[in-house]
Structure 1
């Protein structure tokens, strides 16, 4: 929970970091954990990173915050001496894309769904935090984009980057290292906490559940799952969170359908029997219930 709390304190920015805020990253350490094959998971502040190393060069998924780039590069150098060639962005939030500019300038090619480039290249507003996000500089923008999926044949693996439709945002991709049997979920999966759903960026609770179903369909019993936040996971744990989301989505939907207001739905405490396990992160039960209400209330009414 200490790790989750530390991540939560940083997550609320979800944007590039002002110079005065860089001090809070001074004591952050980047750790690496072997996952399977040549895939490692890196943890620090912000979203979890996946790294595939080998003779073709290093392949990375997400890159945390700009002030951590040098530490991330140092950690990767301890795993392999080949240059970083590709960086995949699972979505647009700054705790996953903050290092783009530094890594792009160092020669890495940034790859993402086309909606990620649209959002990082223009001003955004994250309604849940009432925060305006300035456009990223040109060097931080993905230079390769796709609409559905793209595949890398790299370091002896076949790495499929698959768009899963609106989920956490409208630009979410999962990254499947098929030979290593590893899936990076991005922020579709917050292991151990209620997940943030950025409704103002096109996310939805229904999309989160559908994206989890997509990942589970790709998984075998031994598949390793890298969540956007939290410890390394597996399909069984992902299924627990997927079922929790479906249960609470259905509960809140019934309250919405009965005509209750947002405040009334929050006051009804529909998550209370799950709060002990999932409600200890930065998405507190009341905040999360309100976000799910917003997601469901925005759905077109059935005729």
Structure 2
């Protein structure tokens, strides 16, 4: 337990340093997915944007200092104001701009647990004013957007969004393309829930679906399936070690568990190979 708390403190410190860095050199890259749906990449979680007669619908919003740059990028797509902001979960690299956008009149939406977690540390303007428990459908810019809660995956408040006409899926952080994911065990995340989230996403899509991951480049069904295979491979390998009564430190040092994906660069981002092995051990040992 002490080790878990220590790792949490280290993460919070590193995340705080990351969040306080200089954003002056960050550029917002816009990728057109359909006639009215776009993906924005900057610093933090990937952003989804729908534009049209109903206004601008934004999924996630990165860090607060980036709001002006994000709005500038959106203005190139639409002259209408941001009407709705959807948070896929509570982490600051996805919700940091909530207060700025809320003050501009945007309606913020999220799962019930996102509001609960943000309420303890955020001003009123940053809080979701519409929340849901299981699923939600909204009609926006000529199509239905289906919003689903995924239980105990990346966190306990994850939402996945599917644009039914555009055939675009935004996974939030239940998918990190080409890298090991951050599974926030201290916020209700779990390995089994994360795997179930990916399986649920795959059930929604086809070969033509454009996938906006929480982090990483625009993705395809094939890449999404590769990600699932990676998760299931590591789970199987860790369970074998648990069955052999290996300790957490022994699992963490067993590079063979992740070697097939380490060579592909999965551990070169925020979550390295040792961290993912520890995360899988802690989550699977508890379950």
State TM-score, norm by structure 1.
0.88
Question: Structure 1 residue 14: deviation in Å?
Answer: 6.8
**Does the 8 Å contact 1:87/1:108 carry over to 2?**
yes
Deviates more, 1:224-233 or 1:29-38: 29-38
Q: Partner residue of 2:235?
A: 249
Q: Partner residue of 1:140?
A: 126
Instruction: Give distance in 2, aligned partners of 1:11 and 1:93.
Output: 14
Runs of 4+ in 1 over 2 A off after TM superposition: 14-17
Matched residue SS, 1:193: coil
Q: Partner residue of 2:188?
A: 202
Matched residue SS, 2:156: coil
| Structure 2: tracts of 5 or more residues without a match | 1-11
Map 1:1-303 to 2 at 5 A. Answer: 12-13=14-15, 17=19, 21=20, 24-122=22-120, 135-269=121-255, 270-277=257-264, 278-299=266-287
Cα gap change, 1:168 to 1:11, in 2 (>3 Å) = farther
Q: Partner residue of 1:125?
A: none
Cα gap change, 1:252 to 1:193, in 2 (>3 Å) = same
Instruction: Give distance in 2, aligned partners of 1:151 and 1:14.
Output: 34
Question: Structure 1 residue 258: deviation in Å?
Answer: 1.8
Cα gap change, 1:48 to 1:206, in 2 (>3 Å) = same
**Does the 8 Å contact 1:15/1:93 carry over to 2?**
no
Cα gap change, 1:121 to 1:192, in 2 (>3 Å) = same
Question: Structure 1 residue 16: deviation in Å?
Answer: 9.7
Q: Partner residue of 2:3?
A: none
Q: Partner residue of 1:6?
A: none
Question: Structure 1 residue 287: deviation in Å?
Answer: 1.2
Deviates more, 1:211-220 or 1:29-38: 29-38
Cα gap change, 1:16 to 1:260, in 2 (>3 Å) = closer
Instruction: Give distance in 2, aligned partners of 1:51 and 1:11.
Output: 31
Instruction: Give distance in 2, aligned partners of 1:113 and 1:15.
Output: 27
Instruction: Give distance in 2, aligned partners of 1:273 and 1:15.
Output: 31
CA RMSD of aligned residues (A): 1.8
Question: Structure 1 residue 164: deviation in Å?
Answer: 1.2
Instruction: Give distance in 1, aligned partners of 2:77 and 2:214.
Output: 21
Instruction: Give distance in 1, aligned partners of 2:103 and 2:282.
Output: 39
Matched residue SS, 2:198: helix
Cα gap change, 1:280 to 1:121, in 2 (>3 Å) = same
Instruction: Give distance in 2, aligned partners of 1:115 and 1:282.
Output: 24
Q: Please give the per-residue CA displacement for 1:77-96, whole angstroms capped at 9, x wherever unaligned.
A: 00001111000000000000
Matched residue SS, 2:201: helix
Instruction: Give distance in 2, aligned partners of 1:120 and 1:256.
Output: 35
Instruction: Give distance in 1, aligned partners of 2:164 and 2:246.
Output: 45
Question: Structure 1 residue 234: deviation in Å?
Answer: 1.0
| Structure 1: tracts of 5 or more residues without a match | 1-9, 123-134
Q: Partner residue of 1:132?
A: none
State TM-score, norm by structure 2.
0.92
Matched residue SS, 1:25: coil
Instruction: Give distance in 2, aligned partners of 1:200 and 1:87.
Output: 25
